[in-house]
């Protein structure tokens, strides 16, 4: 019986360019490295013999030295060997990270327990044999697991055999997250592998914890890095116990702390209060300073409600680590607002202009949006003028 | 308000005149200067000019004909009352003004004026510039002469009534919509914001929110492009490395294949080269065998040729040998005959020589005798020469004794003599001759005695002494006598000098000596010629030589011992003997010639026989030489090739065939190996290998360069940078969309504000437009329209549209003069209609010659227009010189007549009042 930790898709140094505030961006980036410390704790508590990382340690084949230095510092704190393969993000191609002198030197001195497996050759341990399938180019048309099919696995004896690979299994694989286009599909034909001779397939690329076959699991990313798809469970590592010929025992263990929340609201004139309440509820558990929210707003709001809504949204945008607002709210002046603008016997021009705009909005012409904006402006100007009178 | 009547007194031409006005339409006619304008001016001044007004305005009212202050009395209706205002313009502060209300009180002066102001709703005019100010009062209702075509919107002339009109339009029920303060303020903000943000062309200004958003978006896109380019460079480097790796791998694979090919090719090439060496050897052997066989065959043929030739030569030799024997015999015979002939010739020649010697002796003997004869002649000649020499010497002696005067000398002397004689003659001609003819005593001339009968010539002052008397004779001629004397003396001296040179006494002696000398010289010359002819120089020598020859000949003959020779004693004997022997010699010479010819013929025959023999012998030798050569060659060939040569030829033929067969086999094997192709292949493979090596090296170099490019500096992740740039671009796009939406919203608002403002402005002027249109249609038909611009609280434009002009709006100032007058009238009447509402629904409107540019057809429309005005409640008063033009109007007509005044005389009938009723003329005069 061998117990080890299966993790993947750390994607350290991910830009999170969608976060406009540089300080918040740094916080989110730093959280991915902090999460490695929780992996270390898991290793200790579960008495794991080693850690396998199924690709994409880094978000890019050219991470900054700061990211590399921070990452290797924390990896070096893990008290067991860490076996990692390059994935499509940090592929082992030319000019990539793994051959940069800085990385080589830092790894040797600060994280000697990190073994980056750049060759398709088995790694022999007393308690297991690791069969790495590194991605050596940005894109491979050949299945990186092919070499295992030609291998005489009998030589491994009774040690459990662990395949370490990064790619799509056809059903699951990396997906675009809005900031990062999905990389080229590296398809793993895991069904073609001699599954009887293999005891566990530690897979990377799919960011949620997921079983991909009888003995195949995606661990998902250790810290959520995007708004997850429905049912996806990012922010975990897999604690795996294997033995030769037996079925693996796989347990997801949470390591992520950030909450990525997606919410959609259909709003009326109580828009501001609803948004306030919804966001407060959604961020209560993780804390607003650890939440990233995608807010899809729809519905129809009056001019005044819109102004109030804008105020609340602005407040939350500064509180949260990230707030993406997909604002599809339709601005519809209320009957009172329209009256306020149109029923002006003493201001014949203003009244007629407002009537024309209302007419355009009601006609739903192509210019309706511009007319709504114009009404909003006109409303503001009237209030401003009346206030000065 | 309606005018009822006016009475003027002492007002310009009018002493006193009353004109009554119809309630609706009045036409005041009359010729020029009949005072039509004066009437309506008087009405206007009664309404607006203070009675105390003075200065120019007062002066203009005063009459030149009628004393007394100008006075106007105007009766009018207003607000249901009838008023009569009377103003006497005295030019003083106490000028009286009264306003009498019918059936009521009469107000005076200031009270009257104040009440009048209430009624006309206009100020009273007085003080400076009153005339100008007056014209501004009710300017819309009083169309003064000459201003009918002026723009009714002219602010200078019409400010007050237009202002009043604007106020009135605002309060009309039918219009009355005006911009509010908030309208204006919001509209201004919108317009200013829009203008500040957007250019006239519709593009955003650089510093506007949209302009900034556009710029930010462009910058964000540039940043994305830069970030993409940075990644592109990295990816290009990676691609370079991958490409290089592929090339290196391909090169290595290909290189291994090529090297294997090269080894195989080299093995086969070695094989081919071995075959080639063998082929060369076999080729040499085959060539040698063939050469041997050819040599043998050739020798055999040569031997056979030699033998054939020997036989032929031997055939030719036999007849030649026979010819040689015959030639030898002929030569022998000729030799014998030649010897005989030679002997005979020798004998004759000996005889000839002997006789020849004898003949020589006889010739010498004869010669001796001849010389002896010649010597006797020569001795006589020598004696003759000696005689001649003696004669010549004597003559020469005589010649030497004479003076040496030549013919030339004689000629010289004659010349000198002629000179002297000429000088003398000249002297004689000028000198004085003194001749003593007879004398008793001695007469002395010049110291010398003068003989009787003798004459003397004197050339100088010469004393003549006769018997104690002493006379001095002075010759004439002056100095020329002395000069002539001098010339004569010089010529005489020259002659004397020449005579002395020739050693003669005078010229006559010279003339005698010279011929004698000539004769002697001729005789000498003749003697010398004769001596020369006799051989003076050689004669003696010749004689000596002849003597010597004679002695020698005699000696020779004395020594002769031939028996057959005897010396002759005379010349004749010697000659006869010499002739005889010469004859004998001639006969012997003939005999010698005959024998010599015979000998020569025999010798010729011998030469010919010898030549034939030698030629034949040469032929035999040549044939023998040929034969010998042929035999030697045959012998040598036979010796060289032996007796067994036919067997050797057979063996050599076999050898040659064997060698050729071996060579062919080797060649076939070599051909199968295609050595040329193998060599080309070797070159090709070498070239390919070198190219692969070069390609490999190039790829390695490119890979190194690309790897260097990939060396990460590590402070910036280009992919991170791109992600940030893309996010910034998305933000910029959203901001730009919002800014654009806002800009469009402002544009929309600005446009709507402008539209709506124009709309209410149009609505504001609509009552005025409708009324003007009503009048205009009387003139230009039912489809004519009018538009009046109104903006910023002001009437801006007045335009007329007519169907016949295509409906285009014509601005007032671009209309013709007539149309301007008519449109202006329409506008004034419409204006009066609206303003009449403040005056009980009626106002008077005066047209003073206001339609002078109208043609007759347009006059019809004008009358319809005026009638419409009357219908609308206006009181229309028209002044015209041609009041008949307005017959169709059906108006009350007042006709004024022109009156002629004589200064200081009283007018007559000036007070005749006008008919009280409409339709009646007011005759003045």
Rounded alpha-carbon distances, angstroms, from residue B869 to A276, A311, B375, B713: 73, 66, 201, 96
Q: Which residues of chain A neighbour B746 with C-beta distances below 8 Å?
A: 374, 377
Rounded distance between C-alpha atoms, residue B693 and residue B699, angstroms: 10
CB B720 within 8 A of CB A15: yes
Question: Under DSSP, is residue B603 helix (H, G, I), strand (E, B) or coil?
Answer: helix
Rounded distance between C-alpha atoms, residue B407 and residue A269, angstroms: 186
- Tell me which residue in B185, B712, B752 faces A353 most closely, judged by beta carbons: B752
- Which tokens is B886 given? 């307005």
Instruction: Tell whether the model's pLDDT for residue B477 goes beyond 70.
Output: no
Instruction: Tell whether the model's pLDDT for residue B913 goes beyond 60.
Output: no
Rounded distance between C-alpha atoms, residue B381 and residue B534, angstroms: 7
Instruction: Tell whether the model's pLDDT for residue B924 goes beyond 60.
Output: no
CB contact under 8 A, A347 and B182: yes
What local confidence, expressed as pLDDT, does residue B541 receive? 83
Rounded distance between C-alpha atoms, residue B546 and residue B368, angstroms: 10
With vertex at residue A355, the alpha carbon angle to CA A353 and CA A361, rounded to the nearest 5 degrees, is 105
Rounded distance between C-alpha atoms, residue B828 and residue B869, angstroms: 10
CB A282 within 8 A of CB A227: no
Q: What is the mean pLDDT of chain B?
A: 87
Q: What share of chain B is helix, strand, coil (3-state, %, to 5)?
A: 65, 10, 20
Q: What is the mean pLDDT of chain A?
A: 91
Can you tell me the mean pLDDT for B489-509?
A: 86
Measure CA of the first residue to CA of the last residue in chain B; give whole Å: 31
What local confidence, expressed as pLDDT, does residue B354 receive? 86
Instruction: Tell whether the model's pLDDT for residue B873 goes beyond 80.
Output: yes
pLDDT class of B478 with cuts at 50, 70, 90: low
- Residue B72's DSSP bridge partners are B8, B87
- Which tokens is A340 given? 């306020």
Instruction: Tell whether the model's pLDDT for residue B916 goes beyond 50.
Output: no
Of residues A371 and B477, the one with the higher pLDDT is A371
Return all residues near A335 (Cβ < 8 A) that are at least 6 apart.
none
Question: What are the tens digits of pLDDT across the range A74-90?
Answer: 999 999 999 999 998 99
Question: What are the tens digits of pLDDT across the range B732-791?
Answer: 999 999 999 999 999 999 999 999 998 888 888 999 999 999 999 999 999 999 999 888
Question: What are the tens digits of pLDDT across the range A292-335?
Answer: 999 999 999 998 999 999 999 999 999 999 999 998 898 888 88
Q: Looking at chain A, which residue has its C-alpha nearest residue B724?
A: A17
Region for residue B85 given its phi and psi (left: phi exceeds 0; alpha: psi -120 to 50; beta: otherwise): beta
- Residue B797's DSSP bridge partners are B789
- Which tokens is A69 given? 């230095």
CB B419 within 8 A of CB B491: yes
CB pairs under 8 A between A and B: 153
Q: What share of chain A is helix, strand, coil (3-state, %, to 5)?
A: 35, 25, 40
Return all residues near A28 (Cβ < 8 A) that are at least 6 apart.
A16, A19, A258, A292, A321, A322
What local confidence, expressed as pLDDT, does residue B398 receive? 82
Question: What are the tens digits of pLDDT across the range B549-594?
Answer: 888 888 888 888 888 888 888 888 888 888 988 888 898 889 889 8
CB contact under 8 A, A373 and B741: yes
Question: What are the tens digits of pLDDT across the range B114-162?
Answer: 999 999 988 899 888 888 888 889 999 999 998 999 999 998 888 888 9
Q: Which residues of chain A neighbour B707 with C-beta distances below 8 Å?
A: 94-95
CB contact under 8 A, A350 and B234: no
Instruction: Tell whether the model's pLDDT for residue A99 goes beyond 90.
Output: no
Closest CA to B893 of B882, B902, B904: B882
What local confidence, expressed as pLDDT, does residue B911 receive? 32
What global pTM score does this model have? 0.55
Burial, B30: exposed, middle or buried (Cβ in 10 Å; 0-12, 13-18, 19+)? buried
Characterize the bridge pairing of strands B81-88 and B97-101.
Answer: antiparallel
Return all residues near A269 (Cβ < 8 A) that are at least 6 apart.
A301, A302, A304, A305, A334
- Which tokens is A14 given? 């991910």
- Which tokens is A232 given? 């996806």
- Tell me which residue in A15, A64, A370 faces B714 most closely, judged by beta carbons: A64
% of chain B residues with pLDDT over 70: 96
CB contact under 8 A, A348 and B177: yes
Q: Does B716 touch chain A (CB under 8 A)?
A: yes
pLDDT class of B645 with cuts at 50, 70, 90: confident
Rounded distance between C-alpha atoms, residue B445 and residue B470, angstroms: 9
Question: What are the tens digits of pLDDT across the range A31-66?
Answer: 999 999 999 999 999 999 999 999 999 998 889 999
CB contact under 8 A, A17 and B726: yes
Half-sphere exposure of B600 (CA within 13 A, CB side): 6
**E strand or H helix at B457, and its extent?**
strand B455-458
Question: What are the tens digits of pLDDT across the range B284-294?
Answer: 999 999 998 89
What local confidence, expressed as pLDDT, does residue A179 receive? 53
Q: Which residues of chain A neighbour B223 with C-beta distances below 8 Å?
A: none
CB B140 within 8 A of CB B831: yes
What local confidence, expressed as pLDDT, does residue B904 receive? 45
Rounded distance between C-alpha atoms, residue B649 and residue A340, angstroms: 144
CB contact under 8 A, A377 and B742: yes
Q: Does A369 touch chain B (CB under 8 A)?
A: yes
Q: Does B394 touch chain A (CB under 8 A)?
A: no
Quickly list H helices, B121-208. Answer: 130-136, 155-170, 181-197
Radius of gyration of chain B (CA): 93
Q: Does B753 touch chain A (CB under 8 A)?
A: yes
Characterize the bridge pairing of strands B25-29 and B71-78.
Answer: unpaired
Q: Does B838 touch chain A (CB under 8 A)?
A: no
Rounded distance between C-alpha atoms, residue B648 and residue B646, angstroms: 5
What local confidence, expressed as pLDDT, does residue A171 receive? 64
CB contact under 8 A, A65 and B714: yes
Q: Does B724 touch chain A (CB under 8 A)?
A: yes
- Tell me which residue in B183, B717, B753 faces A13 most closely, judged by beta carbons: B717
- Which tokens is B373 given? 């004869």
What local confidence, expressed as pLDDT, does residue A95 receive? 73
% of chain B residues with pLDDT over 90: 41
Instruction: Tell whether the model's pLDDT for residue A239 goes beyond 70.
Output: yes
Question: What are the tens digits of pLDDT across the range B399-411?
Answer: 888 888 888 888 8
CB contact under 8 A, A369 and B741: yes
Instruction: Tell whether the model's pLDDT for residue B458 goes beyond 90.
Output: no
CB contact under 8 A, A352 and B756: yes
Rounded distance between C-alpha atoms, residue B615 and residue B519, angstroms: 96
Rounded distance between C-alpha atoms, residue B138 and residue B146, angstroms: 16
- Tell me which residue in B185, B706, B753 faces A353 most closely, judged by beta carbons: B753
CB contact under 8 A, B238 and A138: yes
Return all residues near B129 (Cβ < 8 A) that are at least 6 apart.
none
Rounded distance between C-alpha atoms, residue B315 and residue B625, angstroms: 14
Rounded distance between C-alpha atoms, residue B319 and residue B312, angstroms: 13
Half-sphere exposure of A307 (CA within 13 A, CB side): 9
Rounded alpha-carbon distances, angstroms, from residue B610 to A170, A263, B306, B607: 139, 161, 35, 5
What local confidence, expressed as pLDDT, does residue A173 receive? 61
Question: What are the tens digits of pLDDT across the range B787-816?
Answer: 998 887 789 999 999 988 888 899 999 999
What local confidence, expressed as pLDDT, does residue B141 receive? 93
Rounded distance between C-alpha atoms, residue B84 and residue B18, angstroms: 13
CB contact under 8 A, B185 and A385: yes
Rounded distance between C-alpha atoms, residue B512 and residue B4, angstroms: 191
What local confidence, expressed as pLDDT, does residue A18 receive? 87
The shortest C-alpha distance from A370 to chain B (Å) reads 5
Q: Does B189 touch chain A (CB under 8 A)?
A: yes
Tokens 């709001």, residue located: A301
Most confident of A341-345, B50-54, B688-692, B716-720: B688-692
Instruction: Tell whether the model's pLDDT for residue B642 goes beyond 80.
Output: no
Rounded distance between C-alpha atoms, residue B351 and residue B362, angstroms: 17
């Amino acid at each position: 019986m061998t117990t080890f930790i299966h993790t993947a898709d750390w994607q350290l140094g991910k830009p999170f360019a969608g976060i406009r505030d540089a300080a918040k961006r740094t916080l989110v980036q730093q959280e991915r490295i902090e999460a490695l410390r929780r992996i270390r704790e898991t290793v200790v508590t579960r008495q794991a013999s080693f850690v396998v990382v199924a690709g994409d340690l880094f978000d890019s084949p050219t991470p900054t030295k700061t990211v590399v230095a921070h990452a290797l510092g924390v990896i070096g704190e893990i008290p067991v060997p860490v076996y990692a393969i390059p994935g499509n993000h940090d592929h082992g191609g030319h000019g990539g990270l793994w051959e940069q002198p800085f990385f080589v030197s830092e790894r040797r001195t600060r994280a000697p327990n990190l073994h980056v497996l750049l060759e398709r050759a088995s790694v022999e341990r007393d308690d297991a044999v690791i069969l790495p399938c590194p991605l050596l180019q940005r894109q491979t048309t050949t299945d990186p697991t092919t070499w295992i099919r030609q291998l005489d696995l009998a030589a491994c004896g009774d040690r459990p055999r662990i395949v370490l690979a990064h790619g799509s299994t056809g059903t699951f694989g990396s997906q675009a997250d809005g900031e990062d286009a999905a990389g080229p599909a590296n398809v793993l034909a895991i069904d073609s592998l001699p599954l009887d001779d293999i005891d566990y397939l530690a897979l990377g690329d799919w960011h949620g914890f997921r079983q991909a076959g009888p003995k195949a699991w995606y661990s998902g990313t250790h810290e959520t890095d995007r708004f997850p798809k429905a049912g996806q469970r990012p922010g975990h590592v897999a604690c795996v116990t294997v033995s030769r010929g037996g079925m693996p025992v796989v347990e997801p263990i949470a390591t992520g702390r950030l909450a990525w929340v997606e919410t959609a609201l259909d709003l009326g004139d109580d828009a501001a209060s609803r948004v306030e309440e919804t966001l407060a509820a959604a961020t209560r558990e993780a804390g607003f300073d650890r939440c990233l929210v995608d807010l899809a707003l729809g519905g129809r709001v009056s001019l005044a409600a819109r102004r109030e809504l804008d105020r609340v949204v602005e407040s939350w945008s500064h509180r949260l680590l990230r707030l993406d607002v997909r604002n599809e709210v339709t601005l519809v002046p209320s009957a009172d607002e329209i009256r306020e603008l149109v029923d002006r016997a003493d201001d014949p021009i203003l009244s007629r202009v407002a009537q024309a705009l209302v007419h355009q909005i009601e006609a739903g012409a192509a210019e309706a949006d511009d007319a709504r904006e114009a009404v909003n402006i006109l409303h503001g100007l009237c209030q401003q003028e009346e206030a000065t009178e | 308000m309606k005018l009822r009547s006016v009475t003027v007194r002492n007002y310009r031409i009018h002493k006193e005149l009353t004109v009554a006005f119809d309630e609706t339409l009045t036409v005041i006619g009359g010729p020029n200067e009949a005072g039509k304008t004066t009437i309506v001016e008087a009405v206007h001044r009664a309404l607006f000019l203070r009675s105390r007004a003075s200065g120019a305005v007062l002066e203009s009212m005063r009459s030149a004909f009628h004393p007394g202050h100008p006075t106007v009395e105007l009766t009018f209706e207003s607000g249901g009352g009838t008023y009569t205002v009377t103003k006497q313009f005295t030019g003083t502060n106490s000028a009286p003004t009264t306003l009498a209300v019918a059936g009521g009180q009469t107000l005076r002066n200031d009270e009257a004026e104040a009440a009048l102001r209430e009624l006309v709703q206009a100020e009273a005019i007085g003080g400076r510039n009153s005339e100008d100010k007056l014209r501004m009062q009710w300017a819309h209702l009083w169309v003064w002469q000459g201003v009918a075509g002026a723009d009714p919107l002219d602010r200078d002339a019409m400010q007050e009534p237009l202002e009043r009109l604007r106020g009135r339009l605002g309060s009309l029920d039918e219009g009355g919509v005006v911009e509010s303060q908030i309208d204006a303020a919001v509209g201004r903000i919108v317009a200013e914001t829009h203008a500040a943000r957007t250019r006239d062309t519709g593009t955003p200004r650089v510093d506007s929110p949209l302009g900034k958003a556009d710029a930010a978006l462009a910058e964000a896109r540039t940043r994305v492009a830069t970030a993409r380019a940075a990644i592109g460079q990295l990816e290009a480097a990676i691609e370079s490395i991958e490409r290089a790796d592929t090339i290196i791998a391909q090169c290595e694979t290909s290189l291994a294949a090529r090297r294997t090919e090269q080894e195989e090719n080299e093995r086969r090439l070695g094989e081919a080269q071995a075959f080639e060496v063998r082929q060369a050897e076999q080729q040499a052997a085959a060539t040698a065998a063939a050469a041997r066989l050819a040599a043998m065959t050739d020798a055999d043929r040569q031997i056979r040729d030699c033998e054939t030739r020997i036989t032929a030569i031997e055939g030719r030799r036999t007849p030649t040998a026979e010819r040689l024997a015959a030639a030898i015999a002929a030569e022998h015979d000729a030799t014998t005959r030649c010897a005989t002939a030679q002997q005979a010739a020798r004998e004759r020649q000996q005889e000839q020589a002997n006789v020849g010697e004898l003949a020589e002796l006889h010739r010498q003997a004869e010669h001796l005798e001849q010389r002896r004869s010649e010597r006797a002649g020569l001795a006589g000649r020598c004696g003759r020469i000696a005689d001649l020499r003696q004669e010549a010497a004597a003559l020469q002696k005589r010649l030497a004794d004479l003076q040496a005067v030549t013919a030339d000398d004689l000629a010289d002397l004659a010349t000198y003599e002629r000179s002297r004689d000429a000088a003398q003659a000249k002297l004689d001609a000028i000198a004085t001759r003194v001749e003593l003819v007879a004398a008793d005593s001695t007469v002395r001339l010049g110291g010398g005695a003068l003989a009787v009968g003798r004459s003397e010539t004197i050339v100088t002052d010469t004393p003549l002494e006769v018997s104690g008397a002493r006379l001095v004779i002075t010759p004439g001629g002056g100095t020329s006598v002395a000069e002539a004397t001098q010339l004569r003396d010089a010529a005489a001296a020259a002659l004397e000098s020449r005579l002395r040179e020739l050693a003669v006494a005078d010229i006559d002696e010279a003339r005698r000596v010279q011929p004698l000398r000539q004769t002697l010289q001729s005789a000498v010359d003749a003697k010398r010629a004769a001596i020369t002819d006799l051989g003076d120089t050689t004669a003696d020598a010749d004689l000596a030589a002849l003597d010597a020859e004679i002695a020698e000949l005699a000696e020779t003959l004395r020594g002769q011992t031939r028996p057959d020779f005897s010396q002759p004693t005379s010349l004749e004997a010697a000659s006869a003997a010499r002739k005889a022997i010469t004859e004998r010699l001639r006969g012997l010479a003939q005999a010698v010639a005959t024998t010599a010819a015979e000998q020569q013929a025999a010798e010729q025959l011998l030469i010919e026989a010898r030549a034939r023999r030698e030629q034949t012998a040469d032929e035999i030798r040549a044939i023998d030489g040929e034969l010998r050569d042929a035999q030697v060659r045959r012998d040598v060939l036979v010796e060289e090739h032996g007796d067994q040569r036919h067997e050797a030829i057979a063996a050599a033929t076999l050898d040659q065939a064997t060698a050729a067969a071996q060579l062919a086999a080797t060649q076939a094997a070599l051909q199968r190996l295609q050595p040329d192709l193998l060599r080309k292949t070797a070159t090709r493979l070498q070239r390919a290998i070198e190219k692969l090596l070069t390609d490999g090296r190039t790829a390695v170099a490119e890979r190194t360069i690309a790897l260097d490019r990939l060396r990460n500096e590590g402070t910036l992740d280009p992919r991170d940078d791109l992600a940030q740039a893309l996010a910034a671009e998305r933000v910029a796009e959203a901001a730009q969309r919002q800014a654009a939406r806002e800009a469009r919203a402002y544009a929309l608002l600005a446009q709507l504000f402008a539209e709506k403002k124009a709309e209410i402005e149009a609505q504001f002027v609509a009552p005025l437009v409708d009324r003007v249109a009503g009048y205009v249609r009387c003139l230009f038909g039912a489809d004519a329209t009018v538009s009046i611009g109104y903006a910023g609280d002001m009437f801006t434009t007045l335009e007329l549209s007519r169907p016949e002009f295509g409906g285009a709006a014509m601005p007032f100032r671009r209309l013709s003069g007539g149309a301007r007058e008519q449109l202006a009238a329409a506008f004034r009447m419409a204006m009066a209609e609206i303003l009449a509402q403040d005056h009980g629904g009626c106002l008077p409107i005066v047209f003073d010659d206001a339609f002078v540019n109208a043609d007759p057809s347009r006059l019809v429309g004008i009358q319809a227009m005026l009638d419409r005005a009357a219908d609308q409640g206006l009181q229309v008063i028209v002044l015209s010189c041609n009041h008949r033009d307005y017959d169709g109007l059906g108006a009350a007509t007042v006709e004024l007549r022109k009156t002629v005044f004589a200064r200081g005389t009283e007018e007559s009938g000036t007070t005749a009042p006008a008919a009280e009723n409409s339709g009646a003329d007011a005759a003045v005069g």
